[in-house]
């Protein structure tokens, strides 16, 4: 069985740990790789290496950092198939979806490559007689990124592109379920000319995360994952005096008004609910059907599910792959099993889909569609993170808006309509961080920032874009005066600006 290594100080380092995890090929259920969980000594050494490297990298010129980022972007693009293959083999998503993930990650490198513009400060001349004031932003120091299994390339790039561009050293703790892509990114950075020790990859579980959260050598923590873990990460990191951003879970709604184009809405619902087997924090998990739109919309979605091709991610014919683990597959299936007992109607039962050959041992689950779902049902209240789409029927626009606003999550939401006035009103009134109008997955482009409201975000820092620059830097204001020596006097009064 293949054995992974950590990436420390610019190269692979074999772990001495006696603790490890197992990586599976989700399409076959076969164990393929052992991943070591870092020892306390390995954690200590990595932090020491990163702190040392951060001093020179943090004072390097912006042009030197930009040169590395440009070359890194070139290498990621040139080797995107290699990255996509690593994603598919460990996560299970289809190859085209994996390539799309890499493409969205590239956007973040491109944004970070403009760091010379993003770090422009302000300057005010002559605020008082002979006094000037200017502001600047400087790197935080050593930051750690803790990333989820569902986007093993894109989410690390959300963090690392800006973190490195701003002059920080970084320790990435990828998901132990699919960490190989992170090691490829580390190698690409090395090939791009990044100095040794500036970017490191440590594998591990909750114990490793806890050690990073509590270590005084870590200055900031960036996290994406479930809401319970995000809440804990934010609390523990800030209690240790660290800057923290923690993005949590979601229950994303797609409101369909009576005037919507049914085919457009059905295409969007299927794409957004079942892409990547529903393992996306921005996946649509609830369709809110307003008025008489429910029946034709459910019929249109059902027709599309009946021809959906589910299979191994490396099969070009597959449109949806397996889930990440057997345990997660079984958990998602349990939501479908319990839906009818709560009063919902199972329109399409993904548990009925059968798979042949190697796929019969894989972690596959068909697409499920559940009608007549209501708040208070487990299938509505909890984040499922799988290929299950619920339909909630409401009678009016205001009922749909209130349903979304009363949900504990506020990550993303979409509205489908031909009415520009209704769409505009919805974008103003809805309490979510990201809103789509006839766009089912409104993930912002890299020049904006990603983040939800309510239980989908802890702290006030959104991910990547301008918010990422602010998170990975600290502001400093300098007040300077160069008076004529002959004019200097002792003045014990409060400093004046006039």
145 in a structural domain: yes
Residue 358 has pLDDT above 80, yes or no: no
- What is the domain-level CATH number for residue 460? 3.40.605.10
Q: What is the mean pLDDT of residues 158-169?
A: 98
Look at residue 498 in the predicted model and tell me its pLDDT: 61
Q: Percentage of residues in the chain with pLDDT exceeding 70? A: 99
Contact assessment for residue 170 and residue 160, using Cβ atoms and an 8 Å cutoff = yes
Q: Read out DSSP for 360-394?
A: GGS-----EEEES--TTSHHHHS---SSEEEEEEE
Residue 489 has a pLDDT of 77
Q: How far is CA 183 from the centre of its chain?
A: 18
Which residue's structure tokens are 């990440």?
A: 324
Mean confidence (pLDDT) of the chain: 96
Question: Which pLDDT value is given to residue 405?
Answer: 98
Q: Position of tokens 């209240």?
A: 381
447 found inside a domain: no
Whether the Cβ atoms of residue 423 and residue 263 lie closer than 8 Å to each other: no
Q: Do both 173 and 302 map to the same domain?
A: no
Radius of gyration of the chain (CA): 25
Helical segments of 275-419, H only: 294-306, 326-339, 378-381, 397-406
Angle between helices 62-78 and 80-91 (to 10 degrees): 70
Same domain, 219 and 238: yes
Do both 32 and 137 map to the same domain?
yes
**Domain span at 7:** 2-248+456-478
**pLDDT band at residue 357, thresholds of 50, 70 and 90?**
confident
Tell me the per-residue pLDDT of 204-235, one tens digit each, with 9 for 90 and over.
999 999 999 999 999 999 999 999 999 999 99
Is 194 inside a domain boundary? yes
Asked if the model's pLDDT at residue 396 lies above 80, the reply is yes
My answer on whether 400 and 301 are in the same domain is yes
Residues 137 and 152 grouped into a single domain:
yes
Structure tokens at 379: 């299938």
pTM given for the model: 0.95
Mean pLDDT calculated for residue range 199-207: 98
Catalytic center residues: 281
Compute the distance between CA of residue 445 and CA of residue 145 in angstroms, rounded to an integer: 20
Is residue 320 over pLDDT 80? yes
Q: Indicate if the pLDDT at residue 404 is higher than 70.
A: yes
As a whole number of angstroms, the distance between CA 239 and CA 194 comes to 32
Tokens of 161: 């592109």
Are 247 and 460 in contact, with CB atoms under 8 Å apart? no
Nearest to 236 by CA among 260, 215, 259: 215
- Is the pLDDT score of 497 beyond 70? no
Task: Report the alpha-carbon distance of residue 418 to residue 256 in Å, rounded.
Answer: 10
81 shares its domain with 118: yes
pLDDT at 129 over 70: yes
Report yes or no on 465 lying in a domain.
yes
Residue 121 in domain: yes
CATH number where 321 lies: 3.40.309.10
Rounded to the nearest angstrom, the gap between the alpha carbon of residue 388 and the centroid of all alpha carbons in its chain is 21
Other C-beta atoms closer than 10 Å to the C-beta of 48 total 14
186 shares a domain with 123: yes
- β-pairing, 345-348 vs 368-371, is antiparallel
Buried b or exposed e, range 1-11, using 16+ CB within 10 angstroms: eeebebbbbbe
CA distance 222 to 483: 44
118 and 264 housed in the same domain = no
3-state secondary structure of 288: strand
Report, as an integer, the average pLDDT of 80-93.
98
Query: Does 492 map to a domain?
Result: no
Give strand pairing partners of 388.
Answer: 368
Dihedral angle sign, alpha carbons of residues 458, 209, 84, 250: negative
- Is 80 exceeded by the pLDDT of residue 484? no
DSSP state of 198: S
In this prediction, residue 184 has a pLDDT band, given cuts at 50, 70 and 90, of very high
Give the integer Cα–Cα distance in Å for 409 and 227: 9
In a domain, 264, yes or no: yes
The number of folded domains in the chain is 2
Which DSSP symbol is given to 219?
Answer: -
Q: Token match 């059968």: residue?
A: 354
Mark 199-219 as b/e (b = at least 16 C-beta within 10 Å).
Answer: bbbbbbeeebbebbbebebbb
- In angstroms, the CA 86 to CA 82 distance is 6
- Classify the C-alpha dihedral 36-37-39-45 as positive or negative: positive
- Whole-angstrom CA distances from 291 to 142, 184, 392, 393, 487 are 53, 50, 11, 7, 78
- Note whether 240 and 327 are same-domain residues: no
Are 114 and 193 found together in one domain?
Answer: yes
238-275 confidence digits (pLDDT tens): 999 999 999 999 999 999 999 999 999 999 999 999 99
Whether 117 has a pLDDT exceeding 70, the answer reads yes
Determine the Cα–Cα distance for residues 98 and 353; give it in Å rounded to an integer: 24
**Residues 282 and 169 both lie in one domain:** no
pLDDT at residue 345, rounded to an integer: 98
Residue 355 lies in a domain: yes
Residue 368 scores a pLDDT above 90: yes
The answer to whether the beta carbons of residues 281 and 490 sit under 8 Å apart is: no
**Rounded average pLDDT over 332-358:** 93
Question: Are 200 and 300 in the same domain?
Answer: no
């Amino acid at each position: 069985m293949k054995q992974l290594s950590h990436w420390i100080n610019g190269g692979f380092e074999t772990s001495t740990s006696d603790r490890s995890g197992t990586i599976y090929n989700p399409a076959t259920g076969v164990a393929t790789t052992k991943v070591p969980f870092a020892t306390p000594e390995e954690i200590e050494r990595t932090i020491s290496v990163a702190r040392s490297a951060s001093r020179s990298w943090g004072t390097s010129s912006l042009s030197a950092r930009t040169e590395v980022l440009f070359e890194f972007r070139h290498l990621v693009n040139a080797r995107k198939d290699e990255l996509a293959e690593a994603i598919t083999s460990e996560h299970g998503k289809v190859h085209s979806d994996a390539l799309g993930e890499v493409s969205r990650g590239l956007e973040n490198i491109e944004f970070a490559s403009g760091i010379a513009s993003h770090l422009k400060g302000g300057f005010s001349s002559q605020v008082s007689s002979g006094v000037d004031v200017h502001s600047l932003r400087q790197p935080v120091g050593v930051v750690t990124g803790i990333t989820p299994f569902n986007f093993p390339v894109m989410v690390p790039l959300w963090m690392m592109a800006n973190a490195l561009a701003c002059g920080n050293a970084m320790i990435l703790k990828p998901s132990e379920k699919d960490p190989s892509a992170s090691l490829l990114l580390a190698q690409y950075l090395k090939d791009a000319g990044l100095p040794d020790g500036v970017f490191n990859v440590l594998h591990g579980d909750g114990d490793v995360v806890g050690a990073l959260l509590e270590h005084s050598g870590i200055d900031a923590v960036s996290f994406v994952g479930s809401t319970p873990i995000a809440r804990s990460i934010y609390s523990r990191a800030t209690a240790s005096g660290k800057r923290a951003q923690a993005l949590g879970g979601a229950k994303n709604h797609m409101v369909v008004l009576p005037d919507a184009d049914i085919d457009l809405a059905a295409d969007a619902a299927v794409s957004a609910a079942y892409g990547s087997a529903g393992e996306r924090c921005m996946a649509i998990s609830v369709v809110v059907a307003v008025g008489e739109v429910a029946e034709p919309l459910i019929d249109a979605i059902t027709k599309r599910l009946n021809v959906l091709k589910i299979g191994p991610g490396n099969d070009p014919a597959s449109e949806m792959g397996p889930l990440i683990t057997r345990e997660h597959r079984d958990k998602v299936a349990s939501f479908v099993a319990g839906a009818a007992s709560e009063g919902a109607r199972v329109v399409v039962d993904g548990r009925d889909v059968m798979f042949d050959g190697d796929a019969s041992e894989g972690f596959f689950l068909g697409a499920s569609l559940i009608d007549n779902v209501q708040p208070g049902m487990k299938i509505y209240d909890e984040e499922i993170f799988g290929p299950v789409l619920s339909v909630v029927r409401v009678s009016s626009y205001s009922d749909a808006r209130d349903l979304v606003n009363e949900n504990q999550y506020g990550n993303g939401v979409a509205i489908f309509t031909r009415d520009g006035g209704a769409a505009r009103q919805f974008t103003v009134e809805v309490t979510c961080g990201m809103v789509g109008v006839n766009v089912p997955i409104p993930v912002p482009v890299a020049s904006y920032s990603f983040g939800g409201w309510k239980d989908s975000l802890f702290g006030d820092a959104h991910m990547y874009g301008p918010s990422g620059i602010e998170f990975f830097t600290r502001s400093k204001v300098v007040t300077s005066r160069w008076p004529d020596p002959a004019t200097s006097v002792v003045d014990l009064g409060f400093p004046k600006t006039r």
